[in-house]
Amino acid sequence: MKIAIGNDHTAYDLKLIIAEHIKKKGYEVLDLGTHSSEKCDYPVYGEKVAMAIKNKEADRGILICGTGIGISLAANKVNGIRAAVCSDAYSAKMCRAHNNAQILAFGARVVGVDTAKMLVDEFLNTEFEGGRHENRVKLITEIEERN
């Protein structure tokens, strides 16, 4: 499985740790930057990862900024993308199981390294349950199509 990863300057160090963590587990990593701690604008990287998912260049995405909020808001502007900001393992699991989120976002200024690894593990190890959740996710997509 290929994982696209994107971050702003606040999350450069954590991104490297997370990329290494998932490589060790056998995932292929597509690192879309930013590639240093020099100040940059998080929407750029939110869009890059979202587009990689939309264009099927990656199967799932991970986005990290200071809070996870700005970068996920940017990703969610791309049609068909569901990016979930999580800071606990339960939510990271359920955003896959119930919401079929393709992208996990979190904040480098919010969670520590061990929590970040747990979020990523839950997110990558959980499949969408489908069933009753299928129609709810479809209703989200319809909002996009209507507006």
> What phi and psi values does residue 84 have, to the nearest 5 degrees?
-115, 125
Distances (CA, A) of 58 to 102, 108, 136: 10, 22, 24
Closest approach, Cβ 18 to ligand RB5, in A, equals 15
Q: In the Cβ-directed half-sphere of 82, how many Cα atoms lie within 13 Å? A: 19
Stretch that binds ligand RB5, among 23-31, 67-75, 114-122, 132-140 (CB under 6 A): 67-75
Given 9, 21, 98, 133, the catalytic residue: 98
Binds ligand RB5 (CB under 6 A): choice among 12, 27, 42, 123: 42
> What phi and psi values does residue 140 have, to the nearest 5 degrees?
-65, -45
* Cβ neighbour number for residue 66 with a 10 Å cutoff: 17
* Residue 70 sits in the site that holds ligand RB5 (CB under 6 A): yes
Which residue type does 107 have? G
* Residue 46 sits in the site that holds ligand RB5 (CB under 6 A): no
Decide if 35 is catalytic: no
Closest-by-Cβ residue to ligand RB5 is 70
> What phi and psi values does residue 15 have, to the nearest 5 degrees?
-55, -45
* Residue 66 sits in the site that holds ligand RB5 (CB under 6 A): yes
* Residue 8 sits in the site that holds ligand RB5 (CB under 6 A): yes
Decide if 95 is catalytic: no
**Region at 55 (left for phi over 0; alpha for psi -120 to 50; beta for the rest):** alpha
* Residue 76 sits in the site that holds ligand RB5 (CB under 6 A): no
The answer to whether the beta carbons of residues 63 and 103 sit under 8 Å apart is yes
Identify which of residues 8 and 47 has a Cβ nearer to ligand RB5 in the complex. Answer: 8
Interface contacts to ligand RB5, rule CB under 6 A: 8, 10, 42, 65-67, 69-70
Active site residues: 65, 98
